[in-house]
Amino acid sequence: MQIEIQDDFDLEKISSCGQCFRVKFYDDGTYRFITGDHIIRIRKSGENTYEVSSNENEWNKIWRTYFDLGRDYRKLREQEGKKHPFVQEAVECGRGLRVLRQDPWEMLVTFIISQRKSIPAIAKAVELLAEKYGHLVETECDRAMSFPTPEELQEVTEEELRECGLGYRARYVYDAVDKVASGKLDLTAIADHEDALLFQELLTVYGVGKKVADCVCLFGYGRTARAPVDVWIARAIREECGGENPFPLFGGDAGIIQQYIFYYKKNISVRAGTN
């Protein structure tokens, strides 16, 4: 099926900005995304047109929300960039980014794993978890293992989690599995909470700190006022903003601005040969 997207939409930037770790890129320019039991292949075919493997119903029900296509990123970029000179540079560098709306459970586990790991190492560990403990998802043009549910991980030991490359984070994931599978932490029910209470509920998982909780709020629950501060963002605040946190300027769009800044700092550092 062919679809049209008039707004900012760059598949390479979306897939490489540290918010999703199971995207695959193929030599023909196709990107494969997985969320829950849904798989899509998407490839740019014209200036504003894309070939997608889903049907119209699935595109509208699943993928429009996933890619946050109800939000005008071009307008946001033009309006918000004016508020800060560094942010203006960052949003232009990251033009085409979008904040994906992903599964809260997958985001909780993924960002627990992400602590002190590089993006390739995170992706490897997440894929190992899926291969060992997920279930098979098949479409007309794809087959892949899903990210494992809390129930699928319920009988997995902490040592077995370590074997997926989780290291010391295995005990954190083990606690997350216990809390969610037992119902102590209801990831569906807390979706109705205000941002601050949602954040506090996520902090009840062993090993979940402010950065991880903010990432789950942003990428799992669409709370775009939350701006996670990791090493790249802390560096940007220190080096580009004179030590002053710029995110209060952006209110409900702070988390989206965070992604532009993350992409900018990481790519500038790569080009400069630093990390």
Which residues belong to the active site?
Answer: 211
Q: How far is CA 237 from CA 70, 219, 245, in A?
A: 30, 21, 6
Label residue 5 exposed, middle or buried (CB < 10 Å: 0-12, 13-18, 19+). Answer: middle
Q: How many residues does the chain have?
A: 275
Residue 210 per-residue DSSP state: H
Distance CA 275, CA 272 (A): 9
Closest residue by Cα to residue 32 from 137, 149, 106: 137
Contact 254, 262 (CB under 8 A): no
- Cβ atoms within 10 A of the Cβ of 61, count? 13
Contact 158, 174 (CB under 8 A): yes
Tell me the helix, strand and coil percentages in the chain, rounded to 5: 50, 10, 40
Residue 251, φ and ψ in degrees, nearest 5? 50, -125
Take residue 23 and report the two structure tokens written for it.
Answer: 């995207």
- Residues 6+ away with beta carbon under 8 Å from 189: none
Helices (H), 59-157: 64-66, 73-81, 85-93, 104-113, 119-133
